[in-house]
Structure 1
């Protein structure tokens, strides 16, 4: 009985698409790299905007979907120009084989969302409200997009020389937490995707820099966090 999966608040049939669009407009206008405020502070404020009710949760799902779709379109076009496939379920082979010829596009996607602001905020909301989220949006799609963005984030670190600063590590950690909570709320989640399983088999600790990218502040092991969060 699917209706048992809905959390408190409005059900899907009672959501207000107009309000969801207004929340998305606010998120784009009020937050972004054009705003003179730290990414982390903006992400926390955006999470407050999006986490109030089921319309906010639905808008959060839209941010993930539009970001993932936009990233795929950009990477597909680059891969096609090289005569290579781009698999949304596993970008790692593409980056391993052609990373030197690819541009990592996540900082300037046409959708207008920033990974360290809007996507970090979306992941934070889902990590805090996983049970409500599976009633406001399709949990299978949520998981697909969370893992897809996580894959691209870690590929950027490993193959595209993307700086691993505190904002980058926070994004990855919150994506893992959100995936854990959505999987727990589903009860019978799908198998973990190949990139996540590959990272779990590794014991790679990355050095994390401060947000300015000048001073190391510690190490973080993504595979270890995935094992502890997603295999529990």
Structure 2
């Protein structure tokens, strides 16, 4: 397992790789699809476990691990994929592309639990994150996952449920807070910029009741958060 390294002079004394490994193992054992309970409740509890600077480093690792697995799962289905712009992959593949949010081989993390918790940590502690680890890779992975989700809704016929909409909202908040905390945030990738130009509201489903429970406009949410 690879971990983000602190830069020179970035509070080396407070880094504890052993503690990071413990947090990571506990997150995988205590939370996920194999555990009974609502995903939102699990994510909230997992967020509390990601405490201190070591929790921030683990959160960054979770986002990278899931982004890597999602890209591998997309490319593994035989479709060309650009991690910086999933839009054209979904446009070309449509419903033939199985959403990586469904999990499967190569995934050890649950998007609505582990990734949602990591996004909450980034959003809530962005000011500290930029002090203890490299912020730009974290932002890149946040936006990759967000692009993959929203492009699937727009072009792949993926029907979002409440957990998916909550994850997208958490990723948008993470991107907003992290960009605000960075002294020189990079430009937004083209896939995200394309989504921001759109103004479509998607129906949010409750699979258990098989009914629509709300709506979500990702383009508007991104514009309000990332262009403010």
For normalisation by structure 1, the TM-score amounts to 0.89
Equivalent residues of 2:95, 2:157 under 8 A apart: no
Give me the whole-angstrom Cα distance separating, in 1, the residues matched to 2:142 and 2:208.
Answer: 26
1:133-169: CA deviation from partner (whole Å, max 9, x where unpaired): 1122211101110000001111232344433111111
Shift >4 Å, 4+ stretches? none
Query: Residues 60-88 of structure 1, C-alpha deviation per residue, up to 9 Å, x if partnerless?
Result: 00000010111111212223xxxx53111
Q: How many residues align?
A: 221
**Structure 2 CA distance for partners of 1:13 and 1:165, relative to 1, 3 Å:** same
Mind listing any 5+ residue stretches in structure 2 that lack a counterpart? 1-6
Q: What is the Cα deviation at residue 13 of structure 1?
A: 5.1
Residue 31 of structure 1 is matched in structure 2 by 31
> Does residue 1:158 correspond to 2:157, yes or no?
no
Match of 1:71 in 2: 70
Q: Is 2:151–2:195's contact at 8 Å kept on the other side of the alignment?
A: no
Distance in 2 (alpha carbons) for counterparts of 1:128 and 1:203? 27
Distance 1:209 1:102, change over 3 A: closer
For structure 1, the 5+ residue unaligned runs are none
2:107 is the alignment partner of 1:108: no
Which residue pairs with 2:44 in the alignment? 44
Cα pair distance change 1:210/1:119, threshold 3 Å: same
- Three-state SS of the structure 1 residue aligned to 2:102 is coil
Q: Rate the CA distance shift 1:115–1:191 in 2: closer, same or farther, 3 A.
A: same
Q: 2:87 aligns with which of 67, 86, 92?
A: 92
